[in-house]
Amino acid sequence: MSSSDTSPRPSKRARHSLDQGSSPLHASSSPFSLTNLKHHPEFWFDDGNIVLVAQHTGFRIYRGLLAAQSTVFADMFASATSAANEVLEGCPVVHLTDPEDDLVYLLRILLPTSPTCYRTPDPEIIHSFDEIFGVVRLAHKYHIQPIEDQELRSLQEYWLTSDFDVFFGPSKSHIDMEPVHYIGAVNLARLTDTPLMLPLALYQCCYLGSELLDGWIREDDTVEYLSPEDVRRCFDARIALTCQESFLVSRLFDVIHPQRCKARGRCAPIVAALSYTSMREQPSPVVHALWEWSPTLVGLQGLCEGCVQVLHERDKEQRRRIWDALPRILGITVEGWGKPSEGAGNAA
């Protein structure tokens, strides 16, 4: 959702950080009549024994099933039962400050009503990033650690991996990610203290342009912004990444040793011409510092097999060098970055 520099900011409800979005768990400050309550079609069970209210929508569910998975919910329900300030059809009513859509996403995992609600490796089932974001936020808020860990792992399987070979391998992700979603990914990494997600998330944010300031508009019209510190990181790193792009190209099309050329050095003028052209062309907005040159190299005319192989090796070597340096370029410290690992590091 691109916007020009001259277009006004969208008039949306802003959420500058996830911590600020976590308001008190109980009744909202504005008066609300239960007679106007809309029953959620998927989560209104006639034999449910508690009613959750989010954005004027009611969820009549089973108290015990949620309380067994969240100590926060258990405490809330115990308080609601003892106080019994509001009752609907014999059920205690608990008001939440969470977006309705996020609550639906979480309940579909905790109280699945169909097989598609289960997290499976089925490539046919694609989940939106908005869904993953909402589930992680609420799972963290309500202390449902297994769900939080599960959703974070799904992000780290590909889009936010710390493994170089996984990132440049075939995508097996079941999450639909757009560039602007990485704003939310940075905020999730900060919220959940998952620093291994930060290098790629911040790297992608560096290339958002004005969208970095516009923020990510969620399905419920709230807007996620990076913190001022992370915005500054992205602006500073963008300059460094541009230098890395130029250095990569200069190394990629550097002189090839005659012993590697199977055409007895006849490829040298072609490589020199490629270097001249690539260094003088207008920078492409789609060419990032980690952009993979190998697919382009396959179609080069006039180069022998040996020289093409050298270019492939250089391409991977230079991308790996930039990959390993991402935390330093972004001004953060991440333990374990660049190594195949499921553990979390520490970031500053």
Do 122 and 53 contact (CB within 8 A), yes or no? Answer: no
Higher pLDDT, 241 or 339: 241
Mean pLDDT of 262-287: 79
* Confidence band for 4, pLDDT divided at 50, 70 and 90: very low
Q: Residue 188's pLDDT is what? A: 98
* Mean pLDDT, rounded, for 268-273: 91
pLDDT at residue 270 is higher than 70: yes
Of 81-95, 97-111, 138-152, 175-189, the least confident? 81-95
Give the residue with greater pLDDT, 66 vs 123. 66
Which residue would you say has higher pLDDT here, 141 or 264?
A: 141
Q: Is the pLDDT of residue 107 over 70?
A: yes
Residue 15 reports pLDDT greater than 90:
no
Which range, 131-140, 251-260, 303-312, 329-338, is most confident? 131-140
User: How does residue 340 score in pLDDT terms, banded at 50, 70 and 90?
Assistant: low
What does the pLDDT read at residue 279? 72
CB-CB contact of 1 with 217 (8 Å): yes
Residue in the structure block whose two tokens are 């998975």: 69
Q: For residue 25, how many C-alpha atoms fall within 13 Å in the half-sphere facing its CB?
A: 15
**pLDDT at residue 146 greater than cutoff 60:** yes
pLDDT at 295: 85
- The alpha carbon dihedral of 314, 322, 278, 201 has a sign of positive
Average pLDDT over residues 89-94: 90
Residue 9 pLDDT: 40
Q: Strand 91-95 to strand 87-88: parallel, antiparallel, or no bridges (unpaired)?
A: antiparallel
Under the banding of pLDDT at 50, 70 and 90, the label for residue 123 is low
More confident of the two residues 296 and 64: 64
pLDDT of residue 301: 79
DSSP code for 256: P
pLDDT at 284: 59
| 91-95/50-54 β-pairing | parallel
pLDDT at 84: 60
State the Rg of the chain over Cα. Answer: 25
Q: Where are the alpha helices (DSSP H) in the chain?
A: 18-21, 63-67, 71-83, 100-110, 129-141, 145-156, 164-167, 182-192, 198-205, 211-214, 228-252, 268-280, 294-298, 305-330
| Contact in structure between 261 and 268 (CB atoms under 8 Å) | yes
Q: Which residues of 25-41 are buried (b: 16+ CB within 10 A; e: fewer)?
A: bebeeeeeeeeebeebe
Model confidence at 347, pLDDT cuts 50, 70, 90, reads low
Mean pLDDT, the chain, integer: 85
Please list the alpha-helical segments (H only) found in 68-99: 71-83
Category of 232 on φ-ψ map: left (φ > 0), alpha (ψ -120 to 50) or beta? alpha
Q: Is the pLDDT of residue 243 over 70?
A: yes
